[in-house]
């Protein structure tokens, strides 16, 4: 079996969502309509899932996918849309499901190279699969694009503000931890003195809290 996998924009058959102008709008609308919280709300109503605010194509596929059989063949994006629509199933999720049984998958570089997408889609591919890159001279540009981050002055200023705020919280946590340890030590000393235990000179003064002790109140991912 061979399938072509693409974005929701190219595979959506929902009469309203598919008419939106951009892929981002289609992605957003699809995720909203298939969100768990919305589906749970629909369960409280009189209509079955997909007949209210949800997507009937997604819901039918969710109900049928355990027993659904995809005929052997090679499916282009157009053919996948037609076949999914004729069965009342969402072609996008059908194509993703087909990754488990297909022999050949054709998709965009990003589905394999972009970590955000690859972790969702390409992790289903077997470890011994063969990857063929068409127009491979573009791979470096794709990698640069998907792994690059654009920073604005506003981003940097926000990060600086956040850093200062976190720095203040860490300093306060260290101070409170040190004060708590000193207070507990004083209570221990008083208790020993009342019990007549310990040398007076030995019990005088307050031990200096180590850096590790002060950092106990600081989350591990914020320690040096």
Q: Residues 14, 101: one domain?
A: yes
pLDDT band at 61 (very low <50, low <70, confident <90, very high): very high
Domain hosting residue 99, numbered range: 2-106
List helix spans (H) across 13-101. Answer: 23-33, 36-43, 56-64, 77-87, 91-98
Q: Which of 73, 106, 139 is the last residue of a domain?
A: 106
What is the reported pTM?
A: 0.61
Q: Residues 89, 31: one domain?
A: yes
Contact 58, 90 (CB under 8 A): yes
Which tops the pLDDT comparison, 49 or 32? 32
Q: Residues 25, 80: one domain?
A: yes
Q: What is the pLDDT of residues 136-179, one digit of tens each?
A: 888 888 888 888 888 899 999 999 999 999 888 888 888 888 88
Average pLDDT, the chain: 82
Q: Residues 159, 208: one domain?
A: yes
Which tops the pLDDT comparison, 219 or 103? 103
Number of domains in the chain: 3
Q: Residues 16, 101: one domain?
A: yes
Which tops the pLDDT comparison, 183 or 74? 74
The pLDDT score that the predictor gives to residue 208 is: 58
Q: Is the pLDDT reported for residue 184 higher than 60?
A: yes
Q: Residues 15, 96: one domain?
A: yes
Residues facing 105 on adjacent strands: 3
pLDDT band at 203 (very low <50, low <70, confident <90, very high): low
Q: Which of 32-46, 61-75, 78-92 has the lowest mean pLDDT?
A: 32-46
Q: Residues 139, 167: one domain?
A: no
Q: Residues 129, 178: one domain?
A: no
In this prediction, residues 104-129 reach a mean pLDDT of 81
Q: Which of 86, 118, 148 is the last residue of a domain?
A: 148
Rg (the chain; Cα; Å): 30
Q: Residues 157, 134: one domain?
A: no
Cα distance between the two ends of the chain:
51
Q: Residues 82, 166: one domain?
A: no
Q: Residues 197, 208: one domain?
A: yes
In sequence order, the 6+-apart residues with CB closer than 8 A to the CB of 188 are: none
Q: Is the pLDDT reported for residue 202 higher than 80?
A: no
Q: Is the pLDDT reported for residue 206 higher than 60?
A: no
Q: Which stretches does DSSP call E strand in 57-185?
A: 74-75, 104-106
Q: Residues 112, 91: one domain?
A: no
pLDDT band at 115 (very low <50, low <70, confident <90, very high): confident
Q: Which of 148, 169, 199 is the last residue of a domain?
A: 148
CB-count exposure of residue 123 (10 Å: 0-12, 13-18, 19+):
exposed
State the residue for tokens 């629909």.
42
Q: Is the pLDDT reported for residue 45 higher than 70?
A: no
């Amino acid at each position: 079996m061979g399938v072509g996998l693409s974005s929701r924009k190219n595979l959506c058959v929902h009469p309203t969502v598919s008419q939106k102008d951009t892929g981002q709008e289609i992605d957003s609308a699809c995720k909203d309509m298939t969100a768990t919280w919305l589906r749970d709300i629909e369960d409280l109503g009189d209509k079955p899932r997909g007949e209210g605010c949800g997507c009937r194509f997604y819901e039918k596929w969710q109900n049928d996918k355990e027993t659904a059989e995809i005929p052997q063949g090679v499916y282009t994006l157009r053919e996948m849309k037609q076949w999914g629509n004729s069965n009342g199933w969402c072609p996008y999720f059908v194509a993703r499901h087909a990754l488990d049984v297909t022999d050949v998958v054709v998709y965009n570089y990003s589905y394999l190279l972009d970590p955000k997408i690859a972790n969702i889609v390409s992790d289903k591919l077997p470890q011994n699969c063969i990857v063929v890159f068409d127009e491979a001279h573009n791979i470096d540009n794709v990698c640069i694009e998907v792994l690059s981050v654009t920073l604005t002055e506003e981003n940097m200023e926000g990060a600086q503000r956040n850093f200062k705020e976190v720095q203040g919280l860490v300093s306060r946590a260290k101070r409170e931890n040190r004060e708590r340890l000193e207070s507990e030590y004083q209570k221990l000393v008083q208790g020993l003195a009342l019990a007549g235990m310990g040398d007076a000179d030995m019990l005088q003064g307050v031990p200096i809290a180590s850096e590790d002790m002060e950092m106990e109140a600081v989350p591990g991912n914020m320690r040096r």
